[in-house]
Structure 1
Amino acid sequence: MMPRALCPSGLSVPVGPYSHAVLAGGLIHVSGLLSLDGDGRLVGAGDAVAQARHIFGLLERILAGSGSDLRHVVKLTFFLTDLRDRFALNQVRSEIFDEWRPASTLVQVAGLIGDGTLMEIEAIATLAESPVS
């Protein structure tokens, strides 16, 4: 099966030559997500909890549109401009992943696209018919 680009409705249109997600080999590879609304405006300026919740909401919509859900996330990568925001991020992660804990990597970066953007999250998930066990 050839890789297939996925672009769920309601997300901001990607700027540049990339897709929000790609389905390949039974895995959904989700590009780095920022806390942006459908028009590309920042959601949760200065609030790491609000940004994390919004981004996980976007991830959930992408996965649902791809035939999967958050229970099938196997890897998360977090990019933070300030490592102190990891406490807020961990609070939201604990709410979402209370039983299943995907593999994760956290990286501090000098900056992200957009003023006020505190974090970016990318993910890899399996299709729903390929349960994590």
Structure 2
Amino acid sequence: MNNSIRQISPVDMAPPGGHYSHATIANGLVFVSGQLPITPSGERLHQASFEAQTRQTLANAQSALEAAGSSVAQLVQVRVYITNIDNWPVFNQLYMAWAGQSMPARAVVPVPELHHGFALEVEAVAATK
């Protein structure tokens, strides 16, 4: 394995559901895998409100960033997959509160469905501190 690439498995997150890492550090950047609304105990929040799913998904992204030695303030790019574009205004408000002064490049991609019936998925790239 290349010593300049490190996989991160935060202890405060459920283990990945497949063959991937929650985050990978390479060349001064943290790549956060697509995060879903899954609690640290592994509960899938697919039946929860869109707001609850969003809060958990953003919390998971933040946990992965922090475990990799980064933070929301260090975000460079965020990609959001959302199954109902009508939820866009709610997402944007929750995202603004979460991101604070950080304004990374961002894309919001409407998709027909996500794994386990989730309403959104978030992936990100950030600089290390």
Settle same-fold status: TM greater than 0.5: yes
One-letter amino acid of the structure 1 residue matched with residue 112 of structure 2: A
Which residue of 102, 105, 110 corresponds with 2:104?
Answer: 102
Quote the RMSD (CA, aligned, Å).
1.5
Task: Structure 2: state its 5+ residue gaps.
Answer: none
TM-score by length of 1: 0.88
Which residue of 35, 38, 59 corresponds with 1:33?
Answer: 35
Residue of structure 1 in register with 2:55 after alignment:
53
Task: Structure 1: state its 5+ residue gaps.
Answer: 129-133
Alpha-carbon shift at residue 27 of structure 1 (Å) = 0.3
Alpha-carbon shift at residue 82 of structure 1 (Å) = 0.7
Residue of structure 2 in register with 1:67 after alignment:
69
Post-superposition Cα deviations, 1:14-33, rounded to whole Å, max 9, x if no partner, equal 12221111000000000000
TM-score by length of 2: 0.90
Q: Aligned partners of 2:84, 2:10: CA distance in 1, in Å?
A: 30
One-letter amino acid of the structure 2 residue matched with residue 34 of structure 1: L
Residue of structure 2 in register with 1:131 after alignment:
none
Residue of structure 1 in register with 2:45 after alignment:
43
Conserved 8 A contact 1:80-1:120: yes
Conserved 8 A contact 2:24-2:30: yes
Residue of structure 1 in register with 2:21 after alignment:
19
Alpha-carbon shift at residue 44 of structure 1 (Å) = 6.7
Give the percent of matched residue pairs that are identical in Structure 1 and Structure 2.
Answer: 28
Q: How many residues align?
A: 127
One-letter amino acid of the structure 2 residue matched with residue 120 of structure 1: E
Q: Aligned partners of 2:99, 2:17: CA distance in 1, in Å?
A: 30
Alpha-carbon shift at residue 46 of structure 1 (Å) = 4.2
Q: How does 1:112-131 map onto structure 2 within 5 Å?
A: 112-115=114-117, 117-128=118-129
Alpha-carbon shift at residue 58 of structure 1 (Å) = 1.2
